[in-house]
Amino acid sequence: MVTANPGATTVGWIGAGRMGAALVRRLLEAGYDVAVYNRTRAKAEELVAAGAVVAERPVDLAGRDVVFSMVSASADLEEVTSGEGGLFTDPAQAPKVLIDSSTVSAEASALVRAEAAKRGTALLAAPVSGNPKVVASGKLTLAASGPRAVFDEVQPLLDALGRGVTYVGEGEVARLVKIAHNVFLGVVIQSLAEITVLAEKGGVSREAFMAFLNASVMGSVFSQYKTPALVNLDFTPTFTMPLLRKDFDLGLAAARALEAPMPVASAAAQLVASAVGAGLVEQDFAVLIEEQARRSGLKLVSEDSDVTDGLAAGDA
């Protein structure tokens, strides 16, 4: 039994990249005792000033009540749990709950769930929607799957990470929810790139077009917070093209397995793969607008406009 409140629950965190670090800060601000492991130790040490403790290896977190993991790929999740110095390699102890917020395949998740069960650890799959700025604004959302009773116990801990967590069912179904979400993300940003370039070729500024779109019924939180990237060509990465390509691969594999045709997603996946092949691997995935402009014979320049991403305090 886990009593998820700051005074009673010790937390471990594996993976202090941009997203992981932002989420650790949320837990520290909520008063939780958090120890952090990251493959590059310096990134974990950046959290010490905020109150975190640094762990040398994932296994050093085995005595924590709840451990979160947020790593890049399926192989990384298997490595930090069952590899050398992994979380489940201490014969004497293991956490009560592992909450994995990585975007990995359902098959990899099921393997880790089985290893966790051998150690008496319950696994919740809890992938997230957002980026570090979304986390800082308190607007992160999560989907969770696994044993319902375990979810109910740790929900206060998950609630501390953002504005809402949705329990979507047993087993690995949260993985499918997140993969479907990210496929939609890729389709939407490609569509936004296409219509924005279309409007600009017809003589409409990107700022004016996005202002109209965001105020319409087709506007969204996503279109709003991608507005500065599309208007001012600021491609500081929040989510890179190789990661988006990976999620398209996972989504299309799931579609094949479930016999669910995805023609629009398939077309978008090819455009993303083409952009990666062209070397667009470090920039934010909104850089797809430059690829779309290139194919359209248009050279984009920043409009240097004072546009909001809608995430600052006080924004609607």
Report, as residue numbers or ranges, the catalytic residues. Answer: 178
Helical spans, DSSP H, in 258-304: 263-277, 288-295
Residue 149 and residue 298: Cα distance in Å, rounded? Answer: 55
Tell me whether residue 126 is exposed, middle or buried, using C-beta atoms within 10 angstroms of its C-beta: 0 to 12, 13 to 18, 19 or more: buried
Tokens of 191: 């569509």
Point out which residues pair with 240 in neighbouring strands.
284
Calculate the alpha carbon distances from 208 to 196, 201, 205, 230, 307 in Å. Answer: 10, 13, 5, 12, 10
Count other C-beta atoms under 10 Å from residue 220's C-beta: 13
Q: How many CB atoms lie within 10 A of CB 89?
A: 16
Q: How far is CA 127 from the centre of its chain?
A: 7
Q: How far apart are CA 209 and CA 297, in angstroms?
A: 19
The rounded radius of gyration (Å) of the Cα atoms in the chain is 20
- Residue 310 is given by DSSP the state S
Structure tokens at 136: 């800082």
3-state class of 220 per DSSP?
Answer: coil
Do 116 and 81 form a contact (C-beta atoms < 8 A)?
A: yes
- 34 φ, ψ to 5°? -125, 130
